[in-house]
Structure 1
Amino acid sequence: MKRNGKIDLLRFVFAIVIMLHHLGMRTDLFDAFGLHFQVVSQRGGGFAVVFFFLVSGALLAKSTDKIVDSADIPKVTTQYLWKKYKYFMTWYIPAFILNFVWDCMRESISGGIKHSLYNISGFFMMQYIGLNGGELYPNGFYVPASWYLSALMICSLVLFPLILWKREIFIRIIAPLTSIASLYVLLNYKNRFRIASGLWYPLAVMCAGCIAYELAKNIKNTEEIYRHGITLRIAEAAIYLLTIVYISSDLQIEFEYPMFMLLTIAVAISFSGGTDDSLLSHKIFSFLGRASFPLYLFHEAISLIYIELLNKHGINHGYLSHIILYILCIVIAFLAQYVYDTIKKNKTQIKKVDA
């Protein structure tokens, strides 16, 4: 599957935003229009995850395009989920080990072993429906980012066979109704767009991602794309910039719904190809996009170990220490992705030789 350089770059940008949000980058910027702006606000930083759910939904819909014969839906779905699960495990296992190391430093080796055994259920990616092991560290899960992986796996299990079964009905009826109805319920009964429990939020956003991809596919290579190319570029850039501004502001939680709608439009434009730039086809952007995944999974575990070491040596975790931590997280993610790519390339070469 050909990678989208723009989406890859945006993945890396939003992964950085999430890292800064989780690791406490709250540097004040300025006040304007009655709002206070920070590098990443406490309230708005988590909104960056919406982008990843949207893209995941779009890529899920895209992955079904190549499936001509969908007669054996259970088999095709199982193959798709198994491939996704193996990739998740590639990064989940080292993230689990990093948290185990921190747990041993914080408690003891026996304590770390006990807590890790309690959380073996995390390997099944079912935490989002309550399949937890008991004592969870930290932030509710032994590997904090695993809630995201769990939500992706469960939503993919629901959506993938639906798209294969009745694509037109799903795109035109099921997906729009799921997004509109579920988000309406979340806003009116939970008084917020994103909630920490339940599958309605990720399911609704991934459905919107499926719609965004279908929209992008329908307008791709049409005359309107080239006629309105400049307008699309401006709209796309403006929405992504507005998203970053929103993430940095202290706007009320109710603004997340219209921001989600705008971000869905921007993702559709990005997948349409009408605003592509040849510069973004360079392999460095593909690497950044792939490295965003280990960065997302590793940064909190790295932070826990880093701060634990500082505390043990009586070093203050100040502004400079924060900067060092951010750089460290990015460097480790890059190294991890480079090692993964190298191993994968070597395996491919061995297979070709054997063939």
Structure 2
Amino acid sequence: MKYYIIAGEASGDLHGSNLMKALYKEDAQAEIRFWGGDLMQKVGGTLVKHYRELAFMGFAEVVQNLGTILRNISSCKKDIEAFAPDAIIFIDYPGFNMRIAAWAKKKGIPTHYYISPQIWAWKENRIKAIKRDVDYMYVILPFEKDFYEGKHGFPVQFVGHPLIDAVEEYRSSADSTFRERHRLDDRPIIALLPGSRKQEITKLLSQMLTVVPHFEQFQFVIAGAPSQDFEFYQRFLTDKNVAFVSNDTYGLLNVAYAALVTSGTATLETALFKVPQVVLYKANPISYQIAKRIITLKYISLVNLIMDREVVTELIQEDCNSKSIYAAFSKIVEQQGREEILQNYDILIDKLGGKGASELTARLINKNL
């Protein structure tokens, strides 16, 4: 069978790579062509376009780059037609993928959506397009099944969360050389995860670094995104107590004592590694004001959304300042604060379901072809 996969972000690259491994196990003759990143490229298949050329953050940035986005959509359609796949598999990235899904449906190409657009957060009216253009939906968050089937009468398959497998696979094979490889000392490590896009890194990393002078007993380590060059991070490496690792976030989380994390998939990854965290978010002011008026969620982190209560502190926009970060960080490095978060992480993991999300999704995709 021929599969065309579209992932437009770093998290999609991770989930896409694990899905590709599972598809190759299910179908030894599989031909896969994809939009994604380095992780997917390592598995095999043919990379059409890297996600670093696709990621635009926020409303203002999307408007500014609209011409590039429209050219990418046109290019993608032409490439799909030339490849003539048996199925298109969309991984999140809804602004782009839903346009392709509408076109593919008219062309009669089966459409499979793995990792639902977060329409439960905003743009709920997208359910009309999903019902029209998506043949099969595979969801990874427990509350999404109730949302789609109970509220909107659209059948979906809850497959569990693929990060459970990704983290467990890493931990089972991880060695003890992380500190040695990155020339770190024996102090407890604090992971700084400022995101993968230049806009969010620029806004958030400088805020994260404000706590460094107050906690000399820790070693702070920036997790460099694979989509960014080292030169971009150099301006942030002025303190001798701040180190940098590139493309080794899981290695960092595996040894971290605590973390400051940008909202997104990384909040859940940090929880699965059982690292206490503070979640930060700061966007373009225009983008934030627009988002605040149309997003009705109580929380921005996946950890709190899944638990439906505040398990980890979220510091958003004006609250994302040096004073608030210091106060929240101080709590998670103290024993009582750590223990409370870790106990809640155990409950979170139970809610996420069992192992094997990628394998189950691959089986269902093949069954539905």
Question: With structure 1 as the length reference, what TM-score do the two structures score?
Answer: 0.26
TM-score, normalised by the number of residues in structure 2: 0.25
Identify, as 1 or 2, the structure richer in strand.
2
Higher relative contact order (CA 8 A, sep 6+): 1
Greater helix proportion: 1
